[in-house]
Structure 1
Amino acid sequence: MGRRRAGDDPLNLAGTRLSWRWNKFWYRHRDGRWEKVGTDVAEAKRKAAIYNGDRRDYGTMAYWLDEFLLDCDARVASNDLAKRTRDDYEENAVELKVFFGKMTPEAVTPELVQLYLDEGKRAGRAVRANRERACLSSCLSWLIRKGKTTIRINPCMRASGIQRNTEKPRDRYVTDEEYLAVYDCAPAPVRLMMELVYRTLQRPESDMTGWTAANVRRRGDQKVLRVTQNKTGQVLEIELTGRLLEMIEQAIGPNPVLHQPIVHTADGNAYTYSGITSMLTRAQAKARKRKGLENMPSFGFRDLKGKGATDLWLSGERIERIQMLCGHRHKSTTETYVKARWRETVAPNSIQPGQKNVA
């Protein structure tokens, strides 16, 4: 094999230990091992810079957050971490690098973490600041476990004295009247999405848009919908019966295309979540005009998961079954989730003081 011509390096990979093979970038470690580092050249070079040890910010939180993400990549590859969680970490790390990026882990104190939370609240991003604190906490805990820092107590934990920003739980309950009115005004893909969320209680934004005919399996005489919950990594098989079976079979047709999304466009492609959400928003606007619901608050597909869980609870279904469908780790989370959405009128205390019945 002849030598590569001078200048034959359009991606400027020289000195990075990166190679482009089989439509991917590969990094060659010093022990001879090759590692896939993705298809994006900037991301591949970022990882190579960390492995090569030639970053000028070595030892800072910016550096360690990137190292933490690399460890998360390895955990995703070994099915030890959900990809959704890893992606959330990467998103949350952006603002963390702005505030903490030039500090060493030892310089991150509970006072600074509290300041970060307080500034986030003042900026109108209280909940996002909470999520970013959780990401920072996970990174610092990883550093402590790996022995890469001298700190021994995580400054992000409540034991350090910090107080997270108060979060108001989502409590929008979509009434039957609202659901049916919007359903009647919605196009077929939105109707399908509405029913899938309501009946399966899965996460529409992270899981459902990726379901295909391949998720429909057979267990003996029973068809099931086999899904992997992106957030938890839990594999769940949902029985396909009644209306759920009918609408999925109608969506995939008599000759299913294996990897075609169940909720798909006219040409068979997947919808983006923002795209199909916009269609739901337009259907609500039509329902307000046509169905006399001018004051109907907006709702999203995620609210239909809450409606489905609440309706199951009101029908007497066991909370453990609802918990399994929702993918909640703790039963108390499911109880809070459904009860926050239900508004029931109760009779007041009618006992007259001094006239109580004594058993």
Structure 2
Amino acid sequence: MGRARKDGDPLGLAGTRLSFKHGAFYYRHRDGRWERVGTDVKVAKERAALYNDPQGVYGTVAYWLDQFIVDCTARVAAGTLSARTLADYTENIVPLKAYFGAMLPEHIEPQHVQAYLDIGAKAGRPVRANREKACLSSCLSWLMRTGRTTLKVNPCMQASGTKGNPESKRERYVTHAEYIEVYEAAGTQVRLLMELTYRTLQRPESDLLGWTPAVLARDPHSGARVLSFIQGKTGMRVKIALTERLESLIHRAMGKVPVISQPLVHNRKGEGYTYSGITAMLTAAIRKVNKAREAKGLPKLESFGFRDLKGKGATDMWLAGHPIEQIQLLCGHSDKATTEKYIKARWNATAQPNETAIA
């Protein structure tokens, strides 16, 4: 049994192998070495807990990333975070733990984050590195909000000097002819998701694939039939008027005997698709089209995804003269400027020269 500390242990250092002397905290390793671990008692205790932990992970970035996922899982259950965001974070922490895992959060500096981004760019994954950096930033912000760290400034934020990797805008505009060619070559479920994406402008991966017959509702104010759902990314309640075309699509998807819990886009067993799975089916339809075009001596179609059909739908509405506010509401964008950029990134109209006659 250890001896009682003469000073009564006001800092709670008992059992930590820490000592305070000469204005700083020191950790006494089992091999007899003394290591200076700073002047902040909380940071010193976390470093001591790391050294005292047999697995050597307590208090490290790896430890806190795992705790962050636990917190995010609870937020998904409470409805304050989308399941898609949790899935992204869970995927992103794997490479983050490999690079930052052994560090303490307080030891991460902007140059470390920038080095991570640069390595990602050199490895041919610049955008992926940006997403992982955003995940790390969210974790560190969570630690700061909850008082689990002495960090005062998030080293991932642009204000800290880090600069994300350049990302090119997705400018693919699918023409009507391209849409029809692929639509006719695709299977029933791919056709359904193509048209639902184009008609509703909703995110196929986080919203449409999760739709069940439960999205059918009546507006409590007007009594009109609508599609009512909460967007996975924004958490916003959205109501879309149920047009004759949409109603036909959804009733066809539900079948003669609707199952309230069955996804509208489902396989023969009534099970939903993963986004990667149904995207592969769309890609197969495009390959089928290109094979037929090649046999006719025609150029191949450039590949596209379901998200491009969301952009096509928004752009087509804009070209048809629909108010930008209506498109913004459907897309779930927080401001009109985002919607304008989203549309114009896919519509490269040819500018006309000034033909004003000079008197």
Superposition TM-score, scaled by structure 1 size: 0.79
Read off the aligned partner of 1:138 and give its amino acid letter: S
Q: Secondary structure at the match of 1:346?
A: coil
More moved, 333-342 vs 216-225: 216-225
Q: Which residue among 247, 250, 253 is the counterpart of 1:248?
A: 250
Where do 1:1-359 residues align within 5 Å? 56-219=56-219, 221-290=223-292, 293-349=298-354
Larger Rg: 2
* 1:240 Cα deviation from its structure 2 partner: 1.0
Q: After superposition, give the CA deviation of every residue in 1:70-107 in whole Å (9 maximum; x if it has no partner).
A: 22222222222222222222211111111111011111
Task: Give the aligned partner of residue 30 of structure 2.
Answer: none
Read off the aligned partner of 2:65 and give its amino acid letter: L
Read off the aligned partner of 2:280 and give its amino acid letter: S
Q: 1:286 to 1:163 in 2, by over 3 A?
A: same
Q: Compute the RMSD of aligned alpha carbons.
A: 2.0
Rounded Cα–Cα distance in structure 2 between residues aligned with 1:142 and 1:282? 42
Task: Give the aligned partner of residue 27 of structure 2.
Answer: none
> Percent identity over the alignment?
57
* 1:217 Cα deviation from its structure 2 partner: 1.9
Read off the aligned partner of 1:132 and give its amino acid letter: E
Rounded Cα–Cα distance in structure 2 between residues aligned with 1:278 and 1:158? 36
Rounded Cα–Cα distance in structure 2 between residues aligned with 1:191 and 1:79? 31
More moved, 329-338 vs 300-309: 329-338
The gaps in structure 2 that reach 5 residues or longer are: 1-52
Rounded Cα–Cα distance in structure 2 between residues aligned with 1:144 and 1:266? 48
Q: Secondary structure at the match of 1:237?
A: strand
* 1:109 Cα deviation from its structure 2 partner: 0.4
Q: Secondary structure at the match of 1:178?
A: helix
Rounded Cα–Cα distance in structure 1 between residues aligned with 2:291 and 2:343? 30
* 1:343 Cα deviation from its structure 2 partner: 1.7
Rounded Cα–Cα distance in structure 2 between residues aligned with 1:240 and 1:94? 42
Q: Secondary structure at the match of 1:159?
A: helix
Q: Secondary structure at the match of 2:62?
A: helix
Q: After superposition, give the CA deviation of every residue in 1:13-70 in whole Å (9 maximum; x if it has no partner).
A: xxxxxxxxxxxxxxxxxxxxxxxxxxxxxxxxxxxxxxxx986311111111112222
The gaps in structure 1 that reach 5 residues or longer are: 1-52
Rounded Cα–Cα distance in structure 2 between residues aligned with 1:69 and 1:289? 45
Task: Give the aligned partner of residue 45 of structure 1.
Answer: none
Rounded Cα–Cα distance in structure 1 between residues aligned with 2:148 and 2:205? 36
Rounded Cα–Cα distance in structure 1 between residues aligned with 2:86 and 2:249? 33
Read off the aligned partner of 2:331 and give its amino acid letter: C
* 1:290 Cα deviation from its structure 2 partner: 3.8
State the number of aligned residues.
Answer: 302
Superposition TM-score, scaled by structure 2 size: 0.79
Q: 1:171 to 1:146 in 2, by over 3 A?
A: same
Read off the aligned partner of 1:286 and give its amino acid letter: K
Q: Secondary structure at the match of 2:267?
A: coil
Read off the aligned partner of 2:182 and give its amino acid letter: V
Q: After superposition, give the CA deviation of every residue in 1:121-179 in whole Å (9 maximum; x if it has no partner).
A: 10111111111111111111121222222221111111111111111011110001100
